[in-house]
Structures are given as C-alpha cells and as structure tokens.
Amino acid sequence: MTEITLYNTRTKAKERLAPIDPRNVRMYVCGPTVYDRAHIGNARPVVVFDTLFRLLRHVHGESHVTYVRNFTDVDDKINARAQRDGRAIRDITDETIGWYHEDMDALGALRPSFEPRATEYIGQMIAMIETLVAKGHAYAAEGHVLFSVSSYPDYGKLSRRSLDEMRAGARVEVAPYKRDPMDFVLWKPSSDDLPGWESPWGRGRPGWHIECSAMAHDLLGESFDIHGGGIDLAFPHHENEVAQSCCAHPEGQFAKIWMHNGYLQVEGEKMSKSLGNFFTVHDLLEKGVPGEVIRFVLLSTHYRQPIDWTEAKVEEATKTLRKWRALIEGIEPSSSAASTVVDALADDVNTAGAIAELHKLASAGDAAGLKASAGFLGLLSDDLGAWAEAPTADADVGATIEALLAERAAARKARDFARADTLRDGFAAAGVLVKDTAAGATWELAPDFDAAKLEALR
C-alpha cells in the first residue's frame, strides 16, 4: 500500500498517515460562510483537499474515506446581508450554497461525503457547551457563555503562541463580562430581529468556533485523522476548536494531523477590493477562464506555499491543457495513474511535483498514461473539456473571414505588405488558423477564437 506522509502544523514536521481506523479514514475541512460568492482564495483549500480526498480514496478505497466540509449558515455577516437586502436569511444561504456548488463543480471538485449546515447542529452545539460548563471549562455571563482559556493548559500549542504573548497582543476592547481577555464566545444572546434558538442561557445563537467542533464530533467522533483549512484559520479558529473539543471529550484527541494551505496573492499583491484585484471564481468563469484552467493554476504551487495568481500563469495553463487535450483525443486512459504521480501526491500532496510528472508523460507521448494520471488530479476529464473544443463558425463569421482573406490577397497583389501582415497577425490573435495552399487559403477556428478581435480587423 502507498504510504502517505503529510505535514502536521501542530508538530511542524511531516508525519506518516496512520489512520485511526483504516476502514474509515476521516477528514474535516472548514467550509465557507454562505453570504456571497466564493473568491479565488476560497477555492484554493477546496482544490487542495479535493486532491487529498482523491488520493485517500485511491489508497484506501472510495468506501473507506469520510470527508466532511461544513457550511456556516449562522453568522453576523449573513445577518447584515439579510438586513441590507431585505431578504430572508434562509433564502440567502440557500442561494449562496447553490452558487458555491456550481462554482466548485466547475473546478472539478468532488462533493464531500457530508456537507453539514451549522443550523442543523444547534442541539449538538448546546450539548457540547453544557458539557464544557459542567466540567469547569466554560462559564455563563450576561447571556453569553465563554470558554475559559486558562482551564486548558495546552492552549496555543497548535499555533505556537503563549497565553502571555496573546494577551499582550490583544488589540480588541475586552468585554467586561470576560474573566480573561483571551476567553472566547461559545454562545451569545440574540435580539428579536436576529436568528436565535432557545438554550439554558436564554434565546441566542452559537459563536463561530463551536460549530466545527460539534459537527466534527457528531460525524467523525472524538478522534479523527485530518483537519484542514487555510493558514488564516490556524489562529484563533483552529486553536479554539482544539481547546473546546479536547476539554469536552478528553477521551479523544480531536484531529491527529492539522494541514493548512498558504495565502493567495494576485500579481504579487494581497487580493483586496480596495486594490481592484479582488475577484470571485464566478467572475473568472464569466470572463471565459475555464474551471479546469483555474484548477491547474491552483495545483501548480505546493499547497503550503503562498501562491501568486497571475495572467501569465493562466495563459501558460491554458496552453498546456490544450496541448494535452489534443494529445489524448480519442485515447482510452491507462488502468491506473502512473506510480510517479501517485508518489508525488503521497509526499505531502506535492501537486507541483505531480504536474511535473504529467509533463514527462506528455513529452514521452504516453497519452493513455497522461489521461489516467491527469484524471487522478481532477484534470483532463471529459466533463471539463468542452472549453477546449474548436468552435464552429456561423454564416456571419464565415463571411467576415472570407472577406478579410480576399482583402489580404488584394493587399499582397498591390504589394501592400503592411496591411497583409496586419491581417495575418490579426487572424492569429483572433484564433483563426489560416493555411495557404495552391488552391487558395483555407481556415478553421481555434479553441480560443475571439470574435471581437476578428471584427476589429475590418
């Protein structure tokens, strides 16, 4: 059996994955807060952990892997959006989850085994909070329930921070009902105009961190194999998950291996609406960037490293995938992915290394191996390939091309080589493949045909 090694954020070292139960390898990944479209940074953990999910299923069997990714559908950002738009919260969250599925499906991501919504697990959250209070790890104050950080000696070990440093670095105004500045909210009161549920502490709603602990425990148990998410979640979200989960269920260890993907930049700068470089997955798809190309770019950098999203990378990925799709056309895949590709992924999900192995297969002309191995990474599948198919020309496009070809011939005859060259270069830029023969010029449309660029030649 292939041995998988993964970098554990908690231990700062690569570790061999030794499943708690090889018949049920379990992974939890923090999902989106559903109030708006997912941006490209949100897509990175989806693609990263989808690739790990594929590897786990390949090694242990599809029926022996459980992957949970949640939807946070109770949150102050959602409440604010509902009030701003005058819409029901459930309408917004249902719509946003639908968008999320559409966009992640376009990236070739498999659906997880479970996609729990926070609002479906309020009872489990209340039960866990009651346990924490009963064990002296949480306390009620002014309608809130807070976790007592000082009650858990290992707090800070995941993110390698000391309590004294965290207290000294706290920049937010400390609520008067907190015993310690680092204590965090498990439950908070809700006014009549906000969503709320009845609890032993009055009508209210959960804090953010408790939902993942409750859902992970309910679906995966006291201990499971892998917990993933973006590096921005390591503190405080994941640190708080560890504390409350281990205190509520000390018989378990919560997650054995913690994995975090790096940040995403755009053209060397932090993605920000103020910089005008913020865009969603939907924005890219609407602009004509294929989902398969987005996936390729996201896989081209090792998941633990920061990734720089650039137009140059998009163009290179597009060219590569077109070339590979031309190579595999009409070819049946091999029975399994190349061992070199599997081994690269088994080494801490080294997708950049796996893509390098795909290039070797393509260079060797191993189309069957390329198709099977790329499919292992969620690439070159039939359902993602429509973008690479050559478009067909309608009558107007065909007439425009023929007229421009006649103009090019006339320019050549008149020795107006500047105009002839302009048309030649314009055809190439527009994705019109022209071939001059003894019988005259023939043409066809390339997959990247751009009607606007063709029209600009007239």
Sequence ranges of the domains in the chain: 15-264, 305-388, 395-455
Separation of alpha carbons 203 and 195, rounded Å? 9
Residue at token pair 């231990």: 11
**Beta strands in 293-408, from DSSP E residues, in sequence order:** 307-309
**CATH number for the domain formed by residue range(s) 15-264:** 3.40.50.620
Helices (H) and strands (E) in the chain, counts: 16, 15
Quote the tokens at residue 191. Answer: 């006014």
| Tens-digit pLDDT profile for residues 413-447 | 999 999 999 999 999 999 898 988 887 888 888 87
What local confidence, expressed as pLDDT, does residue 392 receive? 74
Give, as one character, the DSSP assignment of residue 235.
I
What local confidence, expressed as pLDDT, does residue 383 receive? 87
Which residues are registered as beta bridge partners of 27? 67, 226
CATH 3.40.190 is right for the domain spanning 305-388? no
What local confidence, expressed as pLDDT, does residue 170 receive? 57
| Tens-digit pLDDT profile for residues 293-319 | 999 999 999 999 999 999 999 999 999
State yes or no: pLDDT of 256 exceeds 90. yes
By the 8 A CB rule, do 310 and 267 touch? yes
If 0-12 CB within 10 Å is exposed, 13-18 middle and 19+ buried, where does residue 369 land? buried
Q: Which amino acid makes up residue 177?
A: Y
Mean of the per-residue pLDDT values for the chain?
94
Dump the DSSP string for 129-140.
HHHHHHTTSEEE
Q: Per-residue pLDDT averaged across 145-150, rounded?
A: 97
CB neighbours of 449 closer than 8 A, spacing ≥ 6? Answer: 390, 391, 430, 431, 432
- Give Cα 113 to chain centroid, integer Å: 16
